[in-house]
Structure 1
């Protein structure tokens, strides 16, 4: 594992200047926020059975899908009838595959969105990193945290304060854990990518440094930009303005964008990036950002194509599927998400966050909408 990149963040960027031509349409804002929640949950559920990037490579995922005549992928993963030994799915697969989904599965990719909502409801938009940590200790079970989050949680419990919570005895500082916490900062700052990124940064530094922090800033800006962008490419361009252009994350995202623009196909693009980022591991921010960027670009704004390509890209499939689903759900709105993704969720979420298990997804969206800061 390479040493974490030093945080070379520039001084705070100027605030977003509202433009009436590109400000979110207040009439559609609720539908777009609901689309983000539904997309995040559906994308997470799609990727969850194959979440183990060292085993579930792109080739193995596609081999599995071909076996069950599920290419192109247009719904939840097929059930592994008679092939359990050949294809080792995660233990939760029975609640996540086609025909078996009855509400959402519990997952940290959803827990942190819920915890972020409680953070903003409790402390407001001027929350501190210390308050993020206090809420983790109050609401989040320790054994439902992983990698950098577990290290930070342990450091909090031992009395350490940020930024030591991110740096002490934490080899996961640039892994994907912060990136998956970005969505609530985007949904509550629609069309305001700089503000979304600034809010996300205060959350990220509890557990991450360098590209780990930039990952959450990037994802927050990207999803925020989806409220007003006219294309996927425009949202990606905007997202690259909120963290250092010299960082490896920025170079990785630009690399995928360049390969896509050159006319290379999806698979060849990921082959090229895989070679360049080999050795970082399947939970590191950089290779996952590459998979996510490719899924968004080649998905061309279509909800199903976006989450399907992203999950087929492998690595941290449930996290990438969740972020891709959030982006695509905001971009197209809940009304445009095919019912085959939404209806099995039964408008309820499973969560390990104390007090939130079984909450209606529509309630989560309504509470998010109530907090949303619309420019203008």
Structure 2
């Protein structure tokens, strides 16, 4: 299968370790998503504003969910759902599309197997995902599906969001079910992504899936990043941005200087575009230095699409360390329960989702 950097196929991972890593991926994704959700508005919640809020609330260094806003604070308006995703208010995960898409991807694999088609992905969207719970490229593709268009036209017709982050946030399940096999993970993610995205939007999904698959077996996160880049065109802007971020880290720049540099290099793309978010995510993974809390905290503090980036960083970090090593302040408030807009899945247990994912990984 072309495995590199010492990676090996799933058959060499003991089942108990695989189960712990997959549960870590699900738990980390949900925790990272919840951490970033209150400040998900990248044009308002800049990196500087997020850190100002954390200083105001005495939450630096950030080692737990965001604190609630202090009475009378102005200029720090959180998203409307903030009460359900700040310290002391979390009682199970609140609904979010970043988690809905992982659940729907799991449903696609359970229903159609690993030979699923892009058309079948679209069918599951129409059957199980409410239209108003989709956004940007996914909403455009959903509308196109409902109007009778077929892939790849669903991605290109009247869709100005083709390179935004939506396909990347759908990719995790393809990594979780392809442990140690980034080539396969990227192939699965591509088949899903082309329903709604093109170019760097598709490459973002392939990169994220390969990164998560690599995280199971690579010796460190930098090796996982290097392996994931082998699965997308070396000359695409996404690959160049990830490599640039890795080079800045290796050159000894601190986290803040790296993000300032990359913000200048990706200026004008907008806060939901795949490329600048990949820089924030890559920096969070590298400067997180293998520590779960530090990884998701730095990623969310990096701004832009905070809940999506926090979710992907949490997935990678959770796979790396396993569920048992995730600090309890992240996992315990989730109560092993997921709110979801996906038909038939609201209230599902995180452990159940992980067990179903492991069964798929073992059947591959």
Q: Do Structure 1 and Structure 2 share a fold, with TM-score over 0.5?
A: yes
Contact kept in structure 1, 2:295 and 2:314, CA below 8 Å: yes
The offset of 1:81, in angstroms, is 1.9
1:210 aligns with 2:199: yes
Structure 1: which 5+ residue stretches go unaligned? Answer: 1-13
**2:168 paired residue number:** 179
For residue 309 of structure 1, what is the aligned residue in structure 2? 298
- Change in Cα spacing, 1:133 to 1:21, as seen in structure 2 (3 Å) is closer
Aligned to 1:219: 208
Whether contact under 8 Å (2:9, 2:179) holds in the other structure is no
Of 328, 335, 338, the match for 2:327: 338
- Counterpart of 1:290 in structure 2 is 279
Question: 2:184 — aligned with what?
Answer: 195
Match runs of 1:144-159 below 5 Å? 144-159=133-148
State how far apart, in whole Å, the 2-side matches of 1:41 and 1:27 are.
Answer: 21
Matched residue, 1:102:
91
The Cα shift of 1:27 comes to: 2.8
In the aligned structure 2, how far is the partner of 1:21 from the partner of 1:171?
Answer: 38
Q: Distance in 1 between matches of 2:116 and 2:222?
A: 32
2:150 aligns with: 161
Say yes or no: does 1:60 pair with 2:49.
Answer: yes
Residue 92 (structure 1) aligned to one of 81, 84, 96: 81
Query: Given that residues 242 and 282 in structure 2 are in contact (C-alpha distance below 8 angstroms), is that contact kept between their aligned partners in structure 1?
Result: yes
Partners of 1:129 and 1:203 within 8 A in 2: yes
Off by >6 Å, runs of 4+ in structure 1: none
Structure-2 separation of matches of 1:169 and 1:346? 41
Task: Give the count of matched residue pairs.
Answer: 362
Please state if 1:131 is matched with 2:134.
no
Q: Which runs of 5+ in 2 are unaligned?
A: none
Q: Is the contact made by 2:138 and 2:196 (CA closer than 8 Å) also made in structure 1?
A: yes
Alignment of structure 1 residues 246-265 onto 2, 5 Å? 246-265=235-254
Q: By how many angstroms is 1:301 displaced?
A: 1.0
Matched residues in 1 for 2:298 and 2:43: separation?
18
For residue 15 of structure 1, report the CA deviation from its aligned partner: 5.1
Distance 2:104 2:185 in 1: 16
